Structure 1
């Protein structure tokens, strides 16, 4: 579902993402693309949305879309602090692993697109009732830890080294997109209770395509950075 302050380290990090210091477009694109792919992926939080909609309707489920704003804080802080203490080459290896992880998620998304039926909803009687409980579900989900350690964390650090405004733009684009996608999913679930097979397949295909693009991008950037470090 998060990171060397020396001149040399900063230069490597900027090259790591091939970012023009005068433009935030690339970081905005990273935030939006990763949020879209993560938001469309089936997972514990999306299963909670479905259970909440089934139990009380889509309007009562809407606050759950904001759960990542609560749960991601400690995850992001720990990830960024740890990553900043590590050498730049280690972060490049982490991003390489992140690219592989994104491709694995893409394979999972394409596999889900072939399924005929959505997974069964949780028993409504045990559906969590508050946004705090939704945040707890996200805290217990391994995906945000992997995402912040391998994808968002290195991206935020590189953005911050270009300029604090870049990092803020990246985070803003990520969370606005993630929350918007979650709100849309909750609404769609409410309209038909369960999203039809055709719509689910389309969402999974979109998610998989975005994940493939991001995965290949991260693999290319990390490989380039590691080659420059080794020379």
Structure 2
């Protein structure tokens, strides 16, 4: 249950946090409607398979205690990211203006989103410092927990981006800068709390390892 809740929380906050893929989801929605946004939202299903395999294989070769160190750094990374994002007040229109993709069909939109996500540092950093150590930690104790973590993360990640696309397509004129800012601030608070919780969790684990 803990792994499931962590996966859902991380996925939901990652889904609405500013980044290259969210920019593309917004831009495609404004230009092609909800279908373009939805096609881009599911792009992590393609791109992250490569990221997950490479990162997990690399982390698995490290001594177990190093996963706690990396996890601790990951918690700090989340907390710091939340602090930085709190001061970002870009509106939906400003985010969309950062990128102007050409009008493309569904498959090309999906592949474009997958490529953008694969080349973005966000999934690599998230899996190397947060999800990777958590996945291996859960896998060593209960494989079901590890699979639940991954499934919950991607369900919430894709679901959050899909909701952004649907709401933006339906209520574009009503999606004011204030509404966008409230959404971002809410996600930022959750992200910061998660960062603090994970930092504390791995700090305790490292202390126990050192005392053993």
TM (norm. structure 2) is: 0.90
How far apart, in 2, do the equivalents of 1:124 and 1:34 lie? 28
**Following superposition, which runs of at least 4 residues in structure 1 exceed 3 angstroms of deviation?**
114-118, 124-129, 192-195
How far apart, in 2, do the equivalents of 1:89 and 1:162 lie? 15
* Correspondence list, 1:81-100, <5 A: 81-100=57-76
In the superposition, relative to structure 1, how do residues 147 and 179 fare at CA in structure 2: closer, same or farther (>3 Å)? same
2:110 corresponds to: 131
Instruction: Tell me if structure 1 keeps the 8 A contact 2:16–2:160.
Output: yes
How far apart, in 1, do the equivalents of 2:165 and 2:138 lie? 31
2:126 paired with 1:147: yes
The correspondence for 1:221, drawn from 184, 201, 208, is 201
2:210 paired with 1:230: yes
In the superposition, relative to structure 1, how do residues 97 and 126 fare at CA in structure 2: closer, same or farther (>3 Å)? farther
TM (norm. structure 1) is: 0.83
- CA deviation string 1:159-217 (max 9, x = no partner): 11122211111111111111111110001121244732121111111111111111111
In the superposition, relative to structure 1, how do residues 83 and 124 fare at CA in structure 2: closer, same or farther (>3 Å)? closer
Number of aligned residues? 206
The correspondence for 2:187, drawn from 207, 211, 221, is 207
The correspondence for 2:9, drawn from 33, 36, 44, is 33
Q: What 5-or-longer segments of structure 2 have no aligned partner?
A: none
Displacement of 1:141 in angstroms is 0.5
How far apart, in 2, do the equivalents of 1:60 and 1:168 lie? 29
Q: What 5-or-longer segments of structure 1 have no aligned partner?
A: 1-24
